[in-house]
Every structure is written in C-alpha cells, then in structure tokens.
Amino acid sequence: MKKLLTLILTLALALSLCAAGTAENASGMTVTAPSGAPAIALAVLAAEQPENYTFVAADTSAAAFAKAETDFIIAPVNAGAKLYKAGKSTYKLAAMVSWGNLYIASQKENLKAEDLNGAEITLFGENTINAAVVLYSLKENGIEPAGVAYLAGAADTQSLLLSDANAIVVTAEPALTAAKIKNAAISSIPVNELYQKATGNEGYAQAGLFVRAETLEKDPEGVAAYLKQAEAACARCAEDVDAVAEAAVKLEILPNVKVAAAAIPNCAIRFVSAPEAKEQIEKTAEVDLSQFGGAVPADDFYYEAK
C-alpha cells in the first residue's frame, strides 16, 4: 500500500512538472497583432504577459512579416499567403482565429437582404478580400445593388451610418456595436449569414495565427504549447466574454467594457488548426485569387503539428 501511494505521488509530481514545463515553454513566445478585432483572440494571454505582445496598425502586417522579429503574427490570411508565395515571408499558417466580422448596416428598421436590391451600398477597403467577400456574397444570393461606393475603413463607414439615415454601409465589429450604442435604430445583416448561404461555410477565412519558421526549427515544443494556450484563449471569447472584454480594454484593443462585451460575440473568433481550415481557406481564396497571389496557398504554407 505504501509503495502504491509513493508511486501515485511520484506520477502526480511528474505530471505537474510536465504541465509546468509546457507552460514555461510557451511563456516566452512573442506575438505581433493588429490593434483591432483579430487581436481579441489572444487578449487574455496578452493581458497576462503584455511585454511579449506588440500591437500595430492593421496595414503594417507586411512589414511585420518582413522583419520577422516575433515568433507569431496575427494577420489577414490572404496577406500572409501572398507574402509566403512571393518568398517575402517565412511564416507558416498555424491556425485560423477570425472568421469574419463584417456587417451590412443601416438606420432603416429591421434591415433585410431584399432591401439591398437596387440600393446604393457603401463598402470600405476597395480591392481587398473583405470587399470581395461582400460582393461575392451579395451576387451569390441574387442581390444586385444599384451602385457600390467605397470609403477607406470601417470607422469611415461607421461615421456615414451615424450621419445619414438613408445610408446602407458595410462596417465591422466593434465599430458596429459602438454605432448601435449611439443610435438604437441601427439594424444589420451579418455578411457571414449571406456567405454561409452561398458556400455552406460558417464564415470566411479572415485572420490567422502565423508561426515563424525559425521558431518552429528551434523550439517546436514551445510552439505546440503556445498553440494550446492560443486555442484556450480563443475558446474564452465564447465562454468567458467578460474576462476577454476586460483584457481587451486593458490592452486598449477596444474602447470600453460595454462595447467590448457586446461586440466580442459578433467577431467570429474560433481557433481552427491550419490543416483543418485548409478547405475553407481555399474557398475564400477562390472568391478573389488575386488577393492570395493568384493561386490557393501551397501545401507547405500550412503548419501541421507533429
């Protein structure tokens, strides 16, 4: 009996040391992320170790890939794929973390898809994958706007949404939630809802978590450990919204807890490993191959844990 108890205690100690080692392996990983919705995916991790996280403007992702200064990068999957194909990045896709935070919105009461037929719609980000997905989703659902105009970003279409009672715009979370708090008359249609009707996929491949080839070579165990932590952090975006909201506000990713708590469930944060996401990524790429460098990503773009 004494020997059995000793064996049990020894095994328990070994398991605890193993768990501690795993956490330690992952604790030093550095991450670059855009200071917007996709960064919500890892907010609870970043709040615990802010010194390891760098938040940058969304349009600087190419520079982050080129510098290759951090172990991981969160960025639009098409940007990472395009740079990898061109030989300008050594980062492989480890997982998808964001599946589309776009919405079509208006001050019109109870906006419906059929209201978009023959309407003027203002999008943001001309010649981007986001705009391509919106136009594709409209077309595949038999919706033909009278005209399409563009503004620079979601903040710009949010301003138009608030200032023009007749405007129909494409904006994104958390800008949409912030607008709805200011004007309760605003209603919206998830672009993902239209995209799912067109493709059968729950969302489109928006932002991914990329891992540096050098880090994979030097510390594969640390990479595997961090990816487990990242998966758990993404899960908390659905299971513990208040904690994620507090972390996002602390990091200044989102403006305040009220907006954060309301917006996070609408940001489509889900961790899906790169191999499991491949089919959905290819479907998104086929919407506009030019956004992915002219072809769907090659097999070696996807990192698969051994």
With bands split at pLDDT 50, 70 and 90, how would you rate the model's confidence at 58? confident
* pLDDT digit string, tens, across residues 102-122: 999 999 989 999 999 999 999
Q: Please report, for the chain, the start and end positions of each structural domain, with discontinuous segments joined by +.
A: 2-99+205-301, 102-199
* pLDDT digit string, tens, across residues 244-302: 999 999 999 998 999 999 999 999 999 999 999 999 999 999 999 999 999 999 999 99
The CA–CA distances, whole Å, from 230 to 4, 81, 199 equal 37, 21, 28
* pLDDT digit string, tens, across residues 71-105: 999 999 999 999 999 999 999 999 999 999 999 99
The CA–CA distances, whole Å, from 89 to 48, 92, 178 equal 28, 8, 35
In this predicted structure, the answer to whether residue 22 has a pLDDT above a threshold of 90 is no
Rounded mean pLDDT, 42-56: 96
With bands split at pLDDT 50, 70 and 90, how would you rate the model's confidence at 223? very high
pLDDT score for 306 = 72
Q: Residue 215: helix, strand or coil by DSSP?
A: helix
For the domain made up of 2-99+205-301, the CATH class stated in words is alpha beta
Q: What pTM value is reported for the model?
A: 0.90
Nearest to 27 by CA among 261, 225, 218, 166: 225
The CA–CA distances, whole Å, from 201 to 86, 99, 286 equal 28, 10, 13
188 secondary structure, DSSP code: E
pLDDT score for 35 = 85
In this predicted structure, the answer to whether residue 9 has a pLDDT above a threshold of 50 is no
Rounded mean pLDDT, 160-176: 97
pLDDT score for 257 = 95
Checking phi first, is residue 72 left (phi over 0); if not, alpha (psi -120 to 50) or beta?
A: beta
Q: How many Cα neighbours within 13 Å face the side chain of 34?
A: 23
User: In the numeric block, which tokens belong to residue 120?
Assistant: 């003027």
Beta strand 72-76 pairing with 53-56:
unpaired
With bands split at pLDDT 50, 70 and 90, how would you rate the model's confidence at 57? confident
Domains 2-99+205-301 and 102-199 share a fold: yes
Which CATH superfamily hosts domain 102-199? Answer: Periplasmic binding protein-like II (3.40.190.10)
